[in-house]
Amino acid sequence: MPSTHLSLHYHLALVPRIAGVTKYVLNQEEHHRGQTFQDEYLEILKLSAIEYDERYVW
């Protein structure tokens, strides 16, 4: 039953991720309270290593 074992392993690996995503989604309001859209957008660009010229972003 290798496929069953692999399937179980895959599902068990997803459980912590699902819990983390759920927590992230439920805390969105609190998360956004301390950061403007502009700040968050620029942070995403930086974390994604996307080069940009701020003169053309807004």
Task: Compare 1 and 41 and report the one with higher pLDDT.
Answer: 41
- Per-residue pLDDT of 1-34, as tens digits, reads 556 666 655 566 666 777 778 888 888 888 778 8
Q: What is the pLDDT of residue 46?
A: 93
Distance of CA 44 to the CA centre of its chain: 10
Residue 42, burial from CB neighbour count under 10 angstroms (0-12, 13-18, 19+)? middle
Cα→Cα distances 43→26, 32, 37, 47, Å = 21, 13, 10, 6
Q: What is the pLDDT of residue 22?
A: 85
